[in-house]
A and B are shown apart, each in its own frame.
Chain A
Amino acid sequence: MDFRLNEEQQMLQDTVARLVRGEYSFEKRLEYSESELGFSADFWKQLGELGLTAVPFPEELGGFGGSGVEVQSVMTELGRGLCIEPYLQSIVLGGGLISQAGNDQQKEQWLGGIASGETRAAVGLQEPQSFYDLNDVETRAEKSGGNYVLNGRKAVVIGGHCADVLVVSARTSGDSRDADGISLFLVPADAEGLERRTYPTIDGAKGCDLFLNNVTVGAEALLGEEGQGAGVIEYQAGRAIAALCGEAVGVMEVACDLTLEYLKQRKQFGVPIGRFQVLQHRMVDMMSELEQARSMAILAASVADEPQSDERRRILAAAKNVIGRSGQFISEQGIQSHGGIGMTWEYNFAHYAKRLIMINHQLGDDDFHLERYATLLQAS
């Protein structure tokens, strides 16, 4: 048994790490965040030029053929830098859904651009009423001649504000929360009837809600088989969970490093505050939360590309549950250990703390995944 990355994987992670270190100072991140695009176009371009946006795609598409492990290595470094580029949305989710379910023509049309970073994708899978259940789809796609007419609303589409193409779920049959009857559509951002309400996110990125008012797309926009989208979505969300676990680990690593450093350096009552046992034990607890999260991230990556099974579902639910809880623990206890300074905008720790809480609100929080795990619980 060997839990280390192989040489190639290590090189990949080092490449991302170097790039992030060079381009992503805390000050620059704030600038990127406040720009209209909401992230760095230049950094995104560099990710593309170094082939990092192509990591999960097959070699014939200029990709790397990377698995969940490679994707996770990239995400961990992006997490360490608190990068706000839409890697998860465009590459893992958008590109991932197209490569999983797309026909040759769709792959040809979209994947080259997504893999190179020139085309940006985002996914509209949640709705205002759906909470975290991706089968709770009320957006409708009605057949009309050879076309589909889409009506409805998709919620909290991170990166959707600047995407060229949106992958949205819509119901072609069935009732609100049925798994059957969900279809996926490729909707170009400039489609008539598509409106976006753009907003900043509390952790420094940007997103939008999508309003679909009689958006008409041709049959070629249907991604995968009609009515069979739920399984595709669930599978890809699982890969995205593994990727997000990687990001979370990167964020937690830095949050723990910063806290530990501060405990050694900050003095009160004539001694470093790290001399107070309550803070020592809390730091140990934070580190052991990080270790739990690391282990579950590794486990999640190892099943990300396996065929779907209850075992895969259980592991991914468990992993997301663990990183949700450990992320919140590290965020809250890290702020507390810092005192007032841990709550300030000017100090990077606070931004790591915010990202950790918001990771819990993406793709289902710890409560949601606990419940999911419980329903999959094996009696023996």
Chain B
Amino acid sequence: MNMNYTAEELAFRDEVRAFLDEKLPADIAAKVKGFRRLSKEDHQRWQKILSEQGWYATHWPEEYGGVKWTPVQKHIWDEESCRYGVPRSIPFGVNMVAPVIIKFGTEEQKQKYLPRILSGEDWWCQGYSEPGAGSDLASLKTRAVREGDHYIVNGQKTWTTLGQHANMIFCLVRTNTEVKAQEGISFLLIDMNTPGITVRPIITLDGEHEVNEVFFEDVKVPAENLVGEEDKGWTYAKYLLTYERTGLAGIGLSKAALQHLKELASRRLKNGKPLIEDTAFSQRIAQVEIDLMAAAISNLRIVASVEGGGMPGAESSMLKVRGTEIRQAINDLARRAIGPYAIPFVEEELDLDYDGDFLSDKNAAPLAAQYFNNRKLSIFGGSNEIQKNIVSKMILGL
């Protein structure tokens, strides 16, 4: 047993740190660390820096401009980038549609889309969920009918994250109604500027515009935008869902959030003393830190097993559930730490350029909103109930 990094891995970590010290824009890191809103421009600016470094596409083969990192290297990147306040990369293009195109797409599709993802020219969003098809994704109804060299698409997608910024959407559509639900689904790439597409915002309970509804009315999509074979989309979708095997648990994000919480609790007062010195509150922080420690080691066990060529099974699904619970628990404590000041919602303080007096703590404004927003962690990408169903059915044989 050896839980230490090798000399090469340590050298890689130094390289990552040197890069982040030099290249990560301070304003962007400050936003990430203070849970402020990031603009589309912030994401694009950072993506460009990463692309120039050749570190943007960590899941792609080198021939397409990817970088070949080992699972441990990816893990190191994840840890360091969370610690430094690197923005989460918007996964829909680089980590979702690209691996599918690389594995199942035509040469033309690869030539056309991959460079545009690397350069940031295209912003992709994910069109899977529909009003009637959430957990039961295979029941989706958005219809695509082949007419000559086009598909005509009609239907509705929902919960489309950051669809308001996107110019491309990858969709699961129904091309065959005669067969079993899973067997009549195709994977289509659609230009959001095509006539007949309407995007309508969905505002979440914290007042944010992060998700959208996307309506399709007689939308003409060139047949060459079909990925792989018609009616085989479910296979590709599943490939995509299981693609990202490490980093799912958000351990790095939880570590950063915990650090933020401790700093906050050191500044806030209770009984005239820093809150972090309060027995009850410090024990609550300690408890979540202990849980996180265990989860972090579980995560490393998965990383090591993938490094050794293994396939993670139940552990990664269970860790994902755990990871969301831990992050939500940290958000809960951060909201509690500001006491009565969780109630005001001072929107102007969400802006990093805000130069007025802060109502209470400089980082208080986003905390309650973030707590509410992160209820999503246990809902999207397969709810925690669905994750547990998968573990109990597929792995435990129940």
Listed in ascending order, the chain A residues whose CB lies under 8 Å from chain B are 126, 128-129, 131-133, 136, 155-156, 158, 176-177, 197, 199-203, 207, 209, 267-270, 276, 278-279, 332, 335-336, 339-340, 342-346, 350-351, 353-354, 357-358, 361-362, 365, 367, 370-371
Contacts of B243 in A (CB 8 A): none
Q: 26 A–B contact pairs at CB < 8 A?
A: A131-B270, A132-B339, A133-B270, A155-B340, A156-B344, A158-B343, A177-B271, A199-B345, A202-B342, A202-B343, A202-B345, A203-B343, A268-B136, A276-B385, A340-B379, A342-B375, A342-B379, A343-B205, A343-B375, A344-B202, A344-B203, A345-B205, A351-B205, A357-B371, A365-B339, A367-B281
CB distance from B381 to the nearest CB of A (A): 11
What's the Cα separation between A116 and B336 when bound, in Å?
36
Q: Which 7 A-B pairs have the closest CB atoms?
A: A350-B205, A345-B203, A202-B345, A268-B136, A156-B340, A131-B270, A199-B344
What's the Cα separation between A158 and B340 when bound, in Å?
10
Shortest Cβ distance from A175 into B: residue: B272
List residues of B (220-278) whose CB comes within 8 Å of A's CBs.
Answer: 268-272, 275
Most buried by A among B207, B342, B360, B380: B342
Inter-chain contact B159/A340, CB cutoff 8 Å: yes
Q: Mark B316-360, 1 if CB is under 8 A from A, else 0.
A: 000000000000000000011001111111110000000000011
Given contacts A155-B340, A345-B207, A361-B340, whether A197 and B379 have CB atoms under 8 Å apart is no
Inter-chain contact B340/A336, CB cutoff 8 Å: no
What's the Cα separation between A132 and B369 when bound, in Å?
21
CB distance from B386 to the nearest CB of A (A): 10
CB distance from A185 to the nearest CB of B (A): 20
What's the Cα separation between A353 and B372 when bound, in Å?
9
Interface residue? B190 (CB, 8 A): no
Contacts of B373 in A (CB 8 A): 343
Q: Mostly helix, strand, loop or mixed at chain B's interface?
A: mixed
B-side interface size class: 35 or more
Interface residue? B129 (CB, 8 A): yes
Contacts of B3 in A (CB 8 A): none
What's the Cα separation between A292 and B369 when bound, in Å?
28
CB distance from B371 to the nearest CB of A (A): 8
Query: Pick the contact of B368 from A126, A202, A339, A351 — CB < 8 Å?
Result: A202
CB distance from B131 to the nearest CB of A (A): 9
Interface residue? B44 (CB, 8 A): no
Contacts of A133 in B (CB 8 A): 270-271
Inter-chain contact B346/A155, CB cutoff 8 Å: no
CB distance from B348 to the nearest CB of A (A): 9
Interface residue? B135 (CB, 8 A): yes
CB distance from A93 to the nearest CB of B (A): 14
CB distance from B287 to the nearest CB of A (A): 13
CB distance from B176 to the nearest CB of A (A): 19
Q: Mostly helix, strand, loop or mixed at chain A's interface?
A: mixed
What's the Cα separation between A155 and B203 when bound, in Å?
29
Contacts of B339 in A (CB 8 A): 131-132, 361, 365
What's the Cα separation between A42 and B204 when bound, in Å?
29
Inter-chain contact B379/A343, CB cutoff 8 Å: yes
Inter-chain contact B375/A335, CB cutoff 8 Å: yes
Shortest Cβ distance from B134 into A: residue: A339
Q: Mark B5-27, 1 if CB is under 8 A from A, else 0.
A: 00000000000000000000000
What's the Cα separation between A194 and B351 when bound, in Å?
28
- A-B contact number at CB 8 A: 135
What's the Cα separation between A354 and B206 when bound, in Å?
9
Inter-chain contact B359/A199, CB cutoff 8 Å: yes
Inter-chain contact A201/B272, CB cutoff 8 Å: no
Contacts of B154 in A (CB 8 A): none
CB distance from A270 to the nearest CB of B (A): 8
Inter-chain contact B343/A201, CB cutoff 8 Å: yes
What's the Cα separation between A176 and B205 when bound, in Å?
38
Interface residue? B376 (CB, 8 A): yes
Interface residue? B280 (CB, 8 A): yes
Inter-chain contact B135/A269, CB cutoff 8 Å: yes
What's the Cα separation between A279 and B134 when bound, in Å?
16
Given A200-B344, A340-B379, list of 4 further CB < 8 A pairs?
A132-B339, A270-B136, A336-B378, A361-B340
Given contacts A202-B343, A362-B343, whether A346 and B271 have CB atoms under 8 Å apart is no
Query: Pick the contact of B343 from A128, A279, A361 — CB < 8 Å?
Result: A361
Interface residue? B383 (CB, 8 A): yes
CB distance from A278 to the nearest CB of B (A): 5
Contacts of B275 in A (CB 8 A): 131
Contacts of A342 in B (CB 8 A): 375, 379
Inter-chain contact B380/A332, CB cutoff 8 Å: no
CB distance from A219 to the nearest CB of B (A): 30
Shortest Cβ distance from B204 into A: residue: A343
Most buried by A among B360, B371, B379, B384: B379
What's the Cα separation between A14 and B380 when bound, in Å?
41
Query: Pick the contact of B376 from A269, A343, A345, A346 — CB < 8 Å?
Result: A343
Given contacts A136-B271, A177-B271, A279-B385, whether A155 and B372 have CB atoms under 8 Å apart is no
CB distance from A143 to the nearest CB of B (A): 25
CB distance from A251 to the nearest CB of B (A): 15
Q: Mark B362-398, 1 if CB is under 8 A from A, else 0.
A: 0000001101110110111001110010000000000
Inter-chain contact B136/A346, CB cutoff 8 Å: no
What's the Cα separation between A28 and B132 when bound, in Å?
28
What's the Cα separation between A334 and B194 when bound, in Å?
38
Query: Pick the contact of A346 from B203, B206, B346, B360 — CB < 8 Å?
Result: B203
What's the Cα separation between A94 and B346 when bound, in Å?
25
Inter-chain contact A340/B205, CB cutoff 8 Å: no
CB distance from A30 to the nearest CB of B (A): 11
Contacts of A270 in B (CB 8 A): 136, 139
Inter-chain contact B380/A340, CB cutoff 8 Å: yes
Contacts of A357 in B (CB 8 A): 335, 368, 371-372
What's the Cα separation between A370 and B280 when bound, in Å?
10
CB distance from A255 to the nearest CB of B (A): 13
Inter-chain contact B204/A367, CB cutoff 8 Å: no
